[in-house]
Amino acid sequence: MIQGLATPVEMKLRLIPIFQHMHHDAQTAAKVRQLCVDMLPSYPARGFVMVTLHTLSLLSAQTLIDIPQQVELLLHYLQQDPRRAIKLKVLSDLHLLTKKAPHMWAQHNLQVLCSFISITPYDNLKLRALTVLSVLAESSPLITKESSLMEVCLENCYHSNIAISTEASTVLTNLACQLSKGASSKVDETLLNQCVAAVESLLTVCVTETTEQHQLMLKKSLSCVSCLCKSFPALASSLADTIYSLLDVAQGEMPLLLYQGLAAVGSTCPSGLEQLRFDLLDRLQEVSAMPQDKQQDFQVLLTSLVLMACPVPLPGHMTKTLIDSLTSDPNHWTAFCVARQAARWGHHTVAVKLLQRLPSLVASEHLHFWLISLGEFCAGEEQLSHIHPDQPQHKGTVTLAQACRHYQKGTTALKASVTPTFPLEFQTQFSQLRAELLQAHANLLAACSTLQTCPPPAIATAMANVSGKEIQRTGRIGTQLQQCVAQFRMLSAKYGDLLQASFDADLTTLKSLTHLQQGCLLMAHVVDVLVLHNHQYISADVYNIQWDVPDFSRGESGGEALPPVFQDVLKMVQKTLEEAQGSAITHVQVSSVFKASCMLLREPLHFPRYFFQALQSTQIKVCSPLLIELRFIFS
């Protein structure tokens, strides 16, 4: 009917879009594609060409196997057809296919698109084509610094049209970030400097006006900054300084966007904000002079930035400034938001002081207990910050017991806040495991003190040689430490189960759980190396630990898989092992175990984002087949 000459063109234009749904059968899809391609030369009208090309693009996006041929066809019309409307439609379809399967592009397709961008005099066509390149640069394996893509970006990243310069800078940023993930993981310094210069220039241009277009371009520019900081953490400080310097000239909604950009830099690389912490604190004190409708957003953002930029623990005068700025604010939601951020960044002293007055200000009983539990957890973490490796063992034991008491109270309150709508499964399991981990460390410290009250007998070594049981060398403390090692390994397995069950969590939460699991394995390894089997590790590498956990802790750009505190513990263990030289257990080894436990406990716990907010939700429904269908199958 569509091929027939008797069918009017208007009817054909209404029938052709039906072909986009004929993707369930490969033969039918191939026949439809051949029919439409054969008809294109016979009907060169603008409407017919646009409808047919768009239908073929939608069909190819479903079948996938025809995407390379469709890209070739669209690029042919992009080059040969002089009509701007068709070129715009072609670029829109290319963007659709690129998002669907960027890996199906060929190298010569990329060259054709870059050539078109270089020769076209129309800004709208150039902008659409750069949008396609931006998607390609995110994931396509064709992207190399030797390709013509880089030349196109450098030609347009300083274009007079701010939208074009933004897209070109985005492509250049994606190019640099994509190259950093390659086999060599090294990016040319020239390319990186050009990318940073383009982004900084774009930021400066965007804040000059307050139009909606400039706001949109500023958001895209700040996204480029976040990507650069994620791939190249060394750039975070300079980019943060650039963003902060623009606050003095920004007007309207621009300062809020710039603060959000700084927050993105801080969440990716907190060390990039360290040089700005005093300046940010001064700006926080100026928030009270702002209009009432803007105070809440700026106060939460600036307080979060100060918490990101400052080391843990927060200096006393900074803590007082933060608390005073929030105490005068009648908006209790602002106080909760800041307390939540403080818990996420390990500033539990601030969180405790803010959460003290909030439970009595909510109407719901469940929220009341939720705030109480959160306050108890933060109070427990605050107690852990008072533990020091050089303090006497009995003081560390008392402080740890107080932290365990806070966690027990918090876990009880958290169970009271559970509702059918909000079961709080992750929060409950996370807090219970943390309480068990603290109790395991308490048992370990109690076992370490056993050496003073019940040291190994003088004949312990002889008894071990006769019986063949090495554990008898250590006496009673060895048996207790064996139980502690088993407890830490059991906790590691539980953290692994929680990690597997938290598939809806964000990547940072998964990294946090991985570090907690590694901490349990590390503590078990330390006890095993220093006390239980220290003679087996002489001249051995104590860094050779079988973690047996998913490697979520390694960054996208590659980096140290272990946190610095883990490396410090291993260095201390190596030094103690070299000094002991396989001798019988003494207070030196036990003291090193105590110090290792204190070092891990002192490391501030950053409550994961998934503890407060889920970015996605997965629901699984099991559907049973109907009885009628079963009868049909078995008949």
Q: How many CB atoms lie within 10 A of CB 253?
A: 14
- Asked if the model's pLDDT at residue 156 lies above 70, the reply is yes
In the numeric block, which tokens belong to residue 264?
């993105």
Closest among 40, 4, 612 to 336, alpha carbons compared: 612
The CA dihedral of 354, 359, 360, 365, to the nearest 10 degrees, is 170
The number of C-alpha atoms within 13 Å of 211 and in the hemisphere containing its C-beta is 9
In the numeric block, which tokens belong to residue 285?
């004190």
The number of C-alpha atoms within 13 Å of 435 and in the hemisphere containing its C-beta is 20
Which amino acid is residue 279, in one-letter code?
Answer: D
Digit-coded pLDDT (tens) for 596-624: 999 999 999 999 999 998 877 777 777 66
Give the pLDDT band of residue 476 (cuts 50, 70, 90): low
Closest among 230, 314, 308 to 266, alpha carbons compared: 308
Q: What pLDDT score does 391 carry? A: 85
Question: Is 369:416 a contact under the CB 8 Å cutoff?
Answer: yes
Annotated domain spans of the chain: 1-104, 433-611
* Residue 102 DSSP class: G
In the numeric block, which tokens belong to residue 288?
């009270």
Judge residue 394's burial from the number of C-beta atoms within 10 Å of its C-beta, 0-12 exposed, 13-18 middle, 19 or more buried.
exposed
The string over 1-34, giving b where at least 16 C-beta atoms fall within 10 Å of a residue's C-beta and e elsewhere, is eeeeeeeeeeebbeebeebbebbeeeeebeebbe
Question: Is 623:518 a contact under the CB 8 Å cutoff?
Answer: no
Q: How many CB atoms lie within 10 A of CB 629?
A: 10
3-state secondary structure 478-536: HHHHHHHHHHHHHHHHHHHHHHHHCCCCCHHHHHHHHHHHHHHHHHHHHHHHHHHCHHH
**Lowest-confidence segment of 7-21, 81-95, 258-272 by average pLDDT:** 7-21
- Asked if the model's pLDDT at residue 29 lies above 90, the reply is no
DSSP track, 383-442: HHTT--TTS-HHHHHHHHHHHHHHHHHHHHHHHHT--SS---HHHHHHHHHHHHHHHHHH
Question: Is 418:405 a contact under the CB 8 Å cutoff?
Answer: no
Digit-coded pLDDT (tens) for 224-251: 999 999 989 999 999 999 999 999 999 8
Distance CA 560, CA 599 (A): 19
What mean pLDDT, rounded, does the chain reach?
85
Mean pLDDT for 10-14 is 77
* Residue 585 DSSP class: P
Long-range contacts for 23-32 (Cβ within 8 Å, ≥24 apart)? 23/59, 23/62, 23/63, 26/63, 26/65, 29/59, 29/63, 29/66, 30/66, 32/59
| Category of 333 on φ-ψ map: left (φ > 0), alpha (ψ -120 to 50) or beta | alpha
Q: How many CB atoms lie within 10 A of CB 380?
A: 26
Q: What pLDDT score does 558 carry? A: 39
Q: What pLDDT score does 556 carry? A: 39
- Asked if the model's pLDDT at residue 539 lies above 60, the reply is no
